[in-house]
Structure 1
């Protein structure tokens, strides 16, 4: 509720109180109106503080209650490579470390946690960043993460950590272009850039980690590009690491939408984009 609403309620209450009938001034600068405004402002500030406090408590409950999925996610995002765990706790000993050193040690930049379809294991997808590109963590770091998992996870709860190279994405797209703006090779005539390719890269960055790729959303993104009149996504396929042999499997067609097995995608190339008039 706004300050004005609180003040109006106070004025209504004042009007209903016969002992305050002498307060009749209609001036906004009258002492009694200013006092009610100050009180209304104070009440509104207190209400905001209570709302903020409730939000913070709700967040703490969801992320700190042991073995809830948000708690497990925070467990991995707060993992510190090269630091010792405090005995019998899931906290690291940061004695003598600077804020910069602590932040640099948090090598897991992305994490998604879900139960398996059977509900018998927890699936943890993780990734880091190299040169601002989502990437899997190196083997030596994964060794430390496995050891960390053994020490902090609940007894009898199996965790499956997925630290794969990105799912590959192959696209066949027809772009109906405005020949006054984009040439037959997809280049913007004025800037010399390739706006459709740039929009595709932007779209991949905008996808949340372990988020659902929707073909319609991709088409909408491209249709918003200046010089693009119409978009037809004729084929979208992906393939991902097969855990059995640690190699990519066969390409499969994406029907409407798909969540990446690794948690993220990488476009194979732009060879499947054609530009028509």
Structure 2
């Protein structure tokens, strides 16, 4: 913040008192040297005000700046300051700003359609070839180069992250970014359907707190084997699957005995996925840790992870790709579609303690 004229004058006077050669100056109110101090102090004050203003309007447009502008976007604006539309985009103090005079806090918040945003800088090849295979994040550190500002945005519908599917909303947002961005910068904006995710788990549970129908235990145990089944095991599995056509697995399997509406494993998975920040990484270890903390869970084993990049509703869904060997990855849309989320769980009673008896 620029100093006041009085502050600058006091600093000059303080420095003057340190100079013995100036001690003989007349201390009169009309002294010419006091007039010069006032003139110089005023000139310095004007200079500092100009520098301060230039610093304010010359703020570097970092990636975080683009994110702030996206989250502050108001849908349904006018470029006419005198518009009766309620919200106008005006040029003020060296930058574009929204004028929301006369609107309530609720009206202002409702006009902000961008609820989630992630901004990164990637090379042009990534934009031209967006359908490459899913990779570990580590490889991106060597791949990403300066080139294009990549903005992923999403809104919230029914308390869930979702793409901006109203055509004019995304178009208006793109026009807004085109207007405020730095000259010469290339900006690529997407808002996609959430990625598909399918998880397969073997979960050893405490049979004293989690319900499991005894008739289903054999089936779960065979399905959980991580090896080629023996001939007699294959026959037994076929018998189970035939029996399931007549009598499916008990829907209460995996629920708490005292609360059949509570499913600890499923709830832990859903809560974990919802709490991953937008455009954050899905990390296998973190998911297992979250499940391990659930009530009645002894050993959670994540056996398979399948995912598919986002497709628009009008497109054919992509086949799920096995990414079990990848420790962590970022969904292409920035989030997973919880309506398409799938999970297969083999519940197995934890009875190893008997071996020690």
Q: Shorter chain as normaliser: what TM range?
A: 0.7 to 0.9
SS in 2 for 1:86: strand
Unaligned 5+ residue runs, structure 2?
1-54, 79-88, 123-143, 213-252, 350-357
Aligned length: 214
Query: Equivalences for 1:97-116 in 2 at 5 Å?
Result: 97-116=103-122
Equivalence for 1:44: none
Equivalence for 2:169: 141
Aligned-residue Cα RMSD (Å) equals 2.0
* d(CA) in 1 for partners of 2:157, 2:60: 31
Q: 1:91 Cα shift?
A: 1.2
Please point out which of 245, 249, 262 is paired with 2:318.
249
Q: 1:90 Cα shift?
A: 2.5
Equivalence for 1:191: 259
SS in 1 for 2:170: helix
Aligned in 2, Cα 1:269/1:205: closer, same or farther, shift over 3 Å?
A: closer
Aligned in 2, Cα 1:270/1:237: closer, same or farther, shift over 3 Å?
A: closer
Q: 1:93 Cα shift?
A: 2.1
Q: 1:124 Cα shift?
A: 0.4
Equivalence for 2:330: 259
Equivalence for 2:346: 274
Query: Equivalences for 1:26-41 in 2 at 5 Å?
Result: none
Query: Equivalences for 1:182-221 in 2 at 5 Å?
Result: 182-184=210-212, 185-192=253-260, 193-221=262-290
Equivalence for 2:42: none
Q: 1:160 Cα shift?
A: 1.0
Superposed CA offset, 1:189-234 (max 9, x none)? 1111111111111101111111111001101100111111001100
Work out whether 1:120 is the aligned partner of 2:147: yes
Query: Equivalences for 1:228-247 in 2 at 5 Å?
Result: 228-241=297-310
Aligned in 2, Cα 1:271/1:210: closer, same or farther, shift over 3 Å?
A: closer
* d(CA) in 2 for partners of 1:247, 1:148: 31
Equivalence for 1:79: 73
Q: 1:252 Cα shift?
A: 2.2
Q: 1:266 Cα shift?
A: 2.8
Equivalence for 1:163: 191
* d(CA) in 2 for partners of 1:90, 1:166: 32
Bigger radius of gyration: 2
Report the more deviating stretch, 233-242 or 161-170. Answer: 233-242
SS in 2 for 1:272: strand
Q: 1:95 Cα shift?
A: 2.4
Per the normalisation by structure 1, the TM-score is 0.72
Equivalence for 1:154: 182
Please point out which of 48, 57, 61 is paired with 1:67.
61
Instruction: Give the structure, 1 or 2, with the largest relative contact order (CA under 8 Å, sep 6 or more).
Output: 2
Superposed CA offset, 1:224-260 (max 9, x none)? 11111001100111111268x9554332233111111
Decide whether the 8 Å contact of 1:83 with 1:93 is kept in 2.
no
Aligned in 2, Cα 1:78/1:247: closer, same or farther, shift over 3 Å?
A: farther
Work out whether 1:130 is the aligned partner of 2:161: no
